[in-house]
Amino acid sequence: MKRLLLWLAGSDRLRRTIPRLWFARRAVRRFMPGDDREAAMAAADGYRPQGVGALLTLLGENATDAKAANDTAEHYERLFADIDRRGLGSEVSVKLTQLGLGAGKAGADGALARADRLAECARAARTVLWVDMEGSAYTDATIAIYEALQSNHGNVGLALQANLRRTAADLQRLLPLGPAIRLVKGAYAEPVSAAYSSKTQVDGNFAALAMTMVHAKLSGKDIRVALGTHDVDLVELIASNAHALGVDRSVLEVQMLYGVREEGLRYLASQGHPVQKLISYGDAWFAWYMRRLAERPANLLFAVRELLPQPRRTPGR
């Protein structure tokens, strides 16, 4: 089922047709508050009284030309300005293929230049720019751009994927930069040569990578540790191991998707973890949504229920 859903995520035909269907739009509302940045910022503002931070991202990837990449960069510039004006303090996450990465050398140079502008906007808004990690075909270029951004600005975070076999080496490479790392399990279809395939392997590598960051923190490295997972038991295991080394839960930030495991996030916050919600918005949601369904069977069951006719309520009952 996971392989099927990831295959669907890569279908251009389905990406063009499914979002037009009303029942599909209804199902996706569990995971995003709306299509525009106003809806995303309103959701972020709603979390603030609960002590929950927000990480905002515009859905979309693989910009096909410079104009599309520039339009996306300008959208994010306006988002940072709005965050600053409203005093939200929200952070922002961007995919580099949204900014033109993937179009050869010119695309990589353009993506770096656009991301560099966004890092400056993040600094002006007194917040953080996060760089998402995409499929393994982009990993080398993404890390190279991140290294340049973090060296120049110091307020840039990077997502790393626990399912990739190379991530342990990538993490060691990045530690001298004083990085902010969002560790995720990984939601892209990858060959077995590049990625672990079983849940047990991915969970084990996730825990090992998290503890590598904990040990780096203990050794005096300047690193921000963010666990991007809905697996509360896995977070508890990591926190327990860290506590045995004298590391407080306040060092282990937890980031979860909007609409998922709200009670789990509140529980982790009550235990002392800094917490954030990743709030996605925009109309380019199909591939992203398929990956969310592939991550957790419970998400798929929810989507199927949304496709079924809704029962009518009898008046007065």
Give residue limits of the domains in the chain: 1-32+285-308, 33-284
Residues sharing a CB contact under 8 Å with residue 247, sequence separation 6 or more, in sequence order? 214, 217, 218
**Residue that wins the pLDDT comparison between 87 and 304:** 87
Strand 275-281 relative to strand 53-58, pairing: parallel
Work out the pLDDT band at 314, boundaries 50, 70, 90: very low
The H or E element spanning position 92 is: strand 91-94
Residue range 116-175, pLDDT digits in tens: 999 999 999 999 999 999 999 999 999 999 999 999 999 999 999 999 999 999 999 999
pTM assigned to the model:
0.85
Work out the pLDDT band at 312, boundaries 50, 70, 90: very low
Q: In this structure, are residues 149 and 116 in contact, taking their beta carbons and an 8 Å threshold?
A: yes
Q: Which of 123, 94, 135, 97 is nearest to 280 (CA)?
A: 94
How many CB atoms sit inside 10 A of residue 307's CB? 11
**Given 37, 114, 170, 182, the catalytic residue:** 182
Q: What is the mean pLDDT of residues 83-107?
A: 92
Alpha helix (H) residue ranges in 57-155: 66-86, 104-124, 139-153
Work out the pLDDT band at 311, boundaries 50, 70, 90: very low
Q: How far apart are CA 57 and CA 123, in angstroms?
A: 17
Fold observed for domain 33-284: TIM Barrel (3.20.20)
In terms of Cβ atoms closer than 10 Å to its own Cβ (0-12, 13-18, 19+), residue 316 is exposed
Taking phi first (over 0 means left), then psi (-120 to 50 degrees means alpha), and beta for anything else, what does residue 102 get? left
Residues sharing a CB contact under 8 Å with residue 244, sequence separation 6 or more, in sequence order? none
Q: Is 132 annotated as catalytic?
A: yes
**Given 37, 114, 132, 170, the catalytic residue:** 132
